[in-house]
Structure 1
Amino acid sequence: MKKYIYIAAIALAAVTLTGCEDLLDSENFIESNTGNFPASPADAEKQLTAVYATLNQAMATPTANYFYVSEVACDDRFGGGGENDFESMADGHLMKATDVQFDSFWKFRYNGIFRANCAIEGLIAQESAFTDKEAHGQYLGEAYYLRAYFYNELVEMFGAVPLITSTAQETNIPRTPVDEVYAQIAADLKNAIELMSGKKYNQYVEIGHATKWAAEALMARVYLFYTGFYGKDSLPLVTADGVGSISKSEVVAWIDDCVANSGHSLVNDYRNLWPYTNEFTVGDYEYTKNATDAAGNALRWAENGNEETVFAVKFCNYAGWDSDGQMGFTNQFILYFGLRADNGGESTFPFGQGWGQGPVAATIWDEWQASEPDDVRMRASILNVNEELPNYVFGADKQMEECGLWSKKMAPILAKKPIESGKVSAWNKSLFWVAYDAFDKANNGDEMQGAHFQDLITIRYADVLLMQSELKEDAAGINQVRARAGLAPIPGYSLELLQRERRHELCFEGRRWADIRRWGIAEEMLDKKNGVTIWNKGVQTVMRDGKYKERYKATNGFFPIPKAQVDLSAGLLEQNPGWDEASANFSGWNF
């Protein structure tokens, strides 16, 4: 049987599977199917675009996304938002969750898996139609990479999940044991590494596409989480003969290859990674206007797709607002993590307005100051309103769980740039379409909710260097990262120093939650949130005992399988521990 795949003739092609061939088994010259598609690079690019699109669609409901969950559940952030934002408060979702909380994320990740399966099957079947074998390998490798990427997020977030690797496979199946899911992830990444081009990251594929180097880096990430969290010494691997394994030495060879041959490197100054150093803001922002890099050059944002970006989700500056994923084509995390109303204007320049979620916990600031107060990354990453924003309003629009600390890495950024001829000026060459004309928003094209196209960088080269150090248990990668920050090298490797370096370098980039879980320190780190000074609706108080340790023990850090999926499975999908009806309405976290 042939499976028919309809390709929508739009920039973001949608791929769906239909039924069998017609009754007479005649050749169909109208519909694309796995017997004739993809037959060219243009076909393959359409099909892969459909897979990549699901990365964005899952962003349309940010509080359901694994990145968001990882941020607000970890020890370095609170949930925040307003007094009624219970989907973000309770430190995100570890304490309680609604029945529909994660429906959209589950849906779009499995949509992506289905589309990746279509692409893999079609590209394998149509290999002979491609005269450019390097291009064919690249396309197929990207499809394998994306399937692995989707499954890795699902298995870290939910634990065992249904493993579906074929469009012909029954989809209503029980949860697959985690070892089998990881074995498939490893096999997909190994295929991706072997298939994709070995040219430098910017010499063969368009920025935003997966590369061999991204696959090598993701393999290291998967290995470190699986072996750490589950206490194993190798990563299982699906092979032609059954199940094999990937050893630490193999992962080291891949990460060494990424460092030596990818062409990726560190941006010259850590502050240039973040959009507040864009050309329209850097000279007006007190923190940056007189700052220079190590060579004496003024700071300047390295922009999206810079040499440090190994893999990122890409966005545009406006994409419409609907319930079917369109809004995810703008970076919604920027909106969610922005300063809440009554802040976010002239008085808090250059940090713009958002919904006040993900306030930074005072623990990371205090511990960072105690360990390395001269680390430039601390103030480059964390906005301390008491130092920088004298007119900041605590409790603005009933803001909850604030410590006066916010992330600078992913925030709405404003610019003092006049309007020219009634149009938004060169601001639209920068990051956000939020221009200020002498702080007068009138007729300036402001769109606070849908104008954000900063990359969501999910793998950064600094992370690659730190994983290399951790895998090899040496200080070389750590010290490269520290040198960029102007810090003295550490004399030798230790896990404690590696843990501190990852916390500082990668804070608010979605990695802390997985790190504290795989290192076995989540309960200890989460317990530090208790008793932290916070402001709820402008009233100073302390974070009460949220029973973090008890809640983590009950859930093991996993989140609930969406109830709709459990119901649709007619009982085949079992719910995660700690998420029965009583636990999911955790009484220790009611306001």
Structure 2
Amino acid sequence: MKNRILKNIVVLTFIGIYCSSCSNDFLDTKPLSFTTVENFYQTADDAESALIGCYSALNAQSVQGVWRGNFNSSMTFMLSAGTDELVTRDGLTAIGYAPFGNLAVTSQTPTIEEHFFTMFVGINRCNYLLDAIEDTEMGEQRKAEIMGEAHFLRGLYYMYLAQMYGGVPVYTTGEHDENALREPLDVVYAQIISDFETAYSNLPNRADIQGRANRWSAAGFLAKVYTYLASCKTNGVGADLGFELNSFDWVDADDFYTRARDITNGIIAQSGYELIDNYDYLFRETTNQFQMEESLFSSVSSSSSIIGNYHVWVQWMVPPGNTTTMGGGYGWFRPTGEMFYKYNALDMRRAHNLSNSFSASSTTETIEGDTYYVPDPANGVTAGFYSVAKYRYVDPSSKPIDISQSMGNYPLLRYADILLLNAEALYMTGDEAGARERLTEVRTRSVSDVSQVDILDDAYYKADFLEELLDERSREFAFESQRRIDLIRFGKFYDAIMGLDENGGRWNVAVPIMQANLEPYKIWFPIPLTEIELSPIEQNPGY
């Protein structure tokens, strides 16, 4: 395969608000993980602009000419599709999309290369900012906060890389060895934990700019890291592969679950975040102000037509239908039939997360003064219109940006997650009663009458608490980039997919394809072939 023309990352003196596509391009044959930044900033304004570039890698439509390798669109299906929640729509062959729902991803799948590159762009922007900030003339308090935000974002980018690929090269300065090898997971996670701890120590309880990271963002992701590592160790994730780079043997599960319990207890007691009343408002395009009451950290979109940091929900995240008149989508990925039956009929999350498409008979509703079309309800799973409905576009006639894109923020860490992480940690440290109370707390918002929560508790009860927890996480976080990682860390990825019924719903026609492609090594994505060709690092087993 010919070496791809890559582009080094060049942060200009003034990046401009959320403009991440500014670059000086030249031929380069360095690995995807080797990206460099020329830093010219010396003033406080320069540092603030550079920090915007660090955030921008989360969801910019294009990062240095590489498209959508982040939460703009790709990461949403990379982390949700090919599970017991979401499959590729029958007949879809798009090479950048379909393989993820069919478990047919290879080292040459374009989205893999785009994602790997984009995450390292974010890391290296953070590194260059941290290299330069000490000599920048600005107030010490704000300097410490910028450093905290850069550490937080670097930890976040590395966390996603580690969860998706395993060990990766670890760079903590802008100037680094292009031939650096992959580090084992203990080294990678030591850096991730250090970054989140530094952020926790330096960030305020709330950022001055809405949507920026704060100390509770860092605390929450620390808890996610600890529960991830502890559960992977407890469930022997990847042990059968014999691949030392991605081994969890070094993890002290008891210690990490204790840390997760204590951190989440602190967030619950002190952070001020809460479950908002309307679950729907977490995923509407125009209700970001409500989402911020529950979301400890989101990938933030824009309502400006000239900025360009949006989320693209049209491909699969909104109900299918006429995009121009109703805000419908394409339905490239579809829910499994099993997803529908995971909900009790009293659970209002089912009607929000799953629907049929928009149709000529669809009505409208008004949400905080904005008009939304209402998709037809899903009363079963056999109809061809059975769809994901979690996210909703506002009436296209009122949008200031392209109708295919979303002004809505994409939540990456919600208070509901803190409660369920706390439940997991409580259970694993010996408090099952307290853990079950947390499940009830999350479910209470899901019923029209609080007295009905007892019915949900009874309907959802499983003697194995962790099985019940995993189901509850699926109900609450359906299609929120959580399911793939949850199934893997609980050691359920293989069994969940093999347990799907090809006759269980209209789109379960894809199930035999998934099952035929399923292999134990697919708990990891492949390192991009370009990276292997241009550097000495080794591939994940099986690819």
The answer to whether the superposition gives a TM-score over 0.5 is: yes
Structure 2 Cα separation of the partners of residues 232 and 525 of structure 1: 15
Corresponding position of 1:574: 538
Residues 244 and 335 (structure 1), Cα distance of their counterparts in 2 relative to 1, 3 Å cut: closer
Q: Deviations over 1:393-428 (max 9, x none)?
A: xxxxxxxx985322222243436xxxxxxxx6xx34
Structure with bigger helix share is: 2
| Matching of residue 378 in structure 1 with residue 350 in structure 2 | yes
Which residue, out of 537, 542, 551, partners 2:518? 551
| Matching of residue 532 in structure 1 with residue 487 in structure 2 | no
Which residue, out of 417, 441, 444, partners 1:480? 441
Structure 2 Cα separation of the partners of residues 149 and 32 of structure 1: 22
Q: Give the secondary structure class of the aligned counterpart of 2:411.
A: strand
Structure 2 Cα separation of the partners of residues 484 and 52 of structure 1: 32
Corresponding position of 2:475: 504
Q: Deviations over 1:63-109 (max 9, x none)?
A: 98333211112211112275432432344362234443322211111
Corresponding position of 1:236: none
Contact 1:554 1:578 in 2 (8 A): yes
Contact 1:90 1:96 in 2 (8 A): yes
The aligned amino acid for 1:186 is: I
Corresponding position of 1:47: 50
Which residue, out of 493, 496, 502, partners 1:522? 493
Which residue, out of 228, 232, 239, partners 1:229? 232
Corresponding position of 1:177: 184
Which residue, out of 18, 21, 31, partners 1:12? 18
Q: Give the secondary structure class of the aligned counterpart of 2:87.
A: coil
The aligned amino acid for 1:495 is: L
| Matching of residue 310 in structure 1 with residue 296 in structure 2 | yes
Structure 1 Cα separation of the partners of residues 539 and 61 of structure 2: 22
Contact 1:566 1:574 in 2 (8 A): yes
Residues 264 and 563 (structure 1), Cα distance of their counterparts in 2 relative to 1, 3 Å cut: same
Structure 1 Cα separation of the partners of residues 171 and 383 of structure 2: 42
Give 1:317 deviation, angstroms.
4.3
| Matching of residue 138 in structure 1 with residue 145 in structure 2 | yes
Which residue, out of 396, 403, 408, partners 1:448? 403
* Stretch deviating more after TM superposition (249-258 or 501-510): 249-258
Give 1:55 deviation, angstroms.
1.1
Corresponding position of 1:331: 311
Structure 2 Cα separation of the partners of residues 89 and 270 of structure 1: 29
Q: Map 1:420-431 onto structure 2 (within 5 A).
A: 427-428=398-399
Structure 2 Cα separation of the partners of residues 99 and 244 of structure 1: 32
Which residue, out of 423, 432, 457, partners 1:469? 423
| Matching of residue 563 in structure 1 with residue 529 in structure 2 | yes
Q: Give the secondary structure class of the aligned counterpart of 1:78.
A: strand
Which residue, out of 336, 339, 345, partners 1:364? 339
Structure 2 Cα separation of the partners of residues 174 and 336 of structure 1: 36
Give 1:574 deviation, angstroms.
1.6
Give 1:116 deviation, angstroms.
0.6
Contact 2:288 2:408 in 1 (8 A): no
Which residue, out of 121, 132, 135, partners 1:122? 132
Structure 1 Cα separation of the partners of residues 305 and 415 of structure 2: 29
Give 1:546 deviation, angstroms.
2.6
Residues 303 and 6 (structure 1), Cα distance of their counterparts in 2 relative to 1, 3 Å cut: closer
Q: Give the secondary structure class of the aligned counterpart of 1:119.
A: helix
Structure 2 Cα separation of the partners of residues 561 and 481 of structure 1: 37
Contact 2:227 2:257 in 1 (8 A): no
Q: Percent identity?
A: 21
Contact 2:14 2:46 in 1 (8 A): no
Residues 465 and 526 (structure 1), Cα distance of their counterparts in 2 relative to 1, 3 Å cut: same
Contact 2:18 2:60 in 1 (8 A): no
The aligned amino acid for 1:152 is: M
Contact 2:95 2:109 in 1 (8 A): no
Contact 1:337 1:410 in 2 (8 A): yes
Corresponding position of 2:328: 353
The structure number with the bigger radius of gyration is: 1
Q: Deviations over 1:23-81 (max 9, x none)?
A: xxxxxxxx965xxx5553x3332121010111123674369833321111221111227
Corresponding position of 1:108: 118
Structure 1 Cα separation of the partners of residues 122 and 39 of structure 2: 19
Specify which structure has the bigger relative contact order, considering alpha-carbon pairs within 8 angstroms and separated by 6 or more residues. 2
Name the count of aligned residue pairs. 464
| Matching of residue 89 in structure 1 with residue 98 in structure 2 | yes
Structure 1 Cα separation of the partners of residues 61 and 178 of structure 2: 20
Structure 1 Cα separation of the partners of residues 153 and 345 of structure 2: 40
Q: Map 1:30-41 onto structure 2 (within 5 A).
A: 33=40, 38-40=42-44
Contact 1:141 1:193 in 2 (8 A): yes
Contact 1:359 1:405 in 2 (8 A): yes
Give 1:132 deviation, angstroms.
4.2
Structure 2 Cα separation of the partners of residues 519 and 264 of structure 1: 27
Structure 2 Cα separation of the partners of residues 389 and 220 of structure 1: 45
Residues 132 and 225 (structure 1), Cα distance of their counterparts in 2 relative to 1, 3 Å cut: same
What TM-score does the superposition give when structure 2 sets the normalisation length? 0.76
Which residue, out of 176, 191, 197, partners 1:190? 197
Structure 2 Cα separation of the partners of residues 365 and 110 of structure 1: 37
Give 1:259 deviation, angstroms.
1.6
Structure 1 Cα separation of the partners of residues 251 and 163 of structure 2: 21
Q: Map 1:150-299 onto structure 2 (within 5 A).
A: 150-197=157-204, 199=205, 201=206, 204-231=207-234, 247-275=256-284
Contact 2:230 2:251 in 1 (8 A): no
Residues 411 and 527 (structure 1), Cα distance of their counterparts in 2 relative to 1, 3 Å cut: farther
Contact 1:566 1:573 in 2 (8 A): yes
Q: Deviations over 1:312-336 (max 9, x none)?
A: 111224668xxxxx86x22113444
Contact 1:561 1:575 in 2 (8 A): yes
Structure 1 Cα separation of the partners of residues 360 and 467 of structure 2: 31
Contact 1:360 1:403 in 2 (8 A): no
Give 1:185 deviation, angstroms.
0.5
- When the two chains are superposed, the root-mean-square deviation of aligned CA atoms in Å is 3.6
Residues 216 and 93 (structure 1), Cα distance of their counterparts in 2 relative to 1, 3 Å cut: farther
Unaligned runs of 5+ in 2: 1-9, 26-37, 237-249, 364-381, 428-434
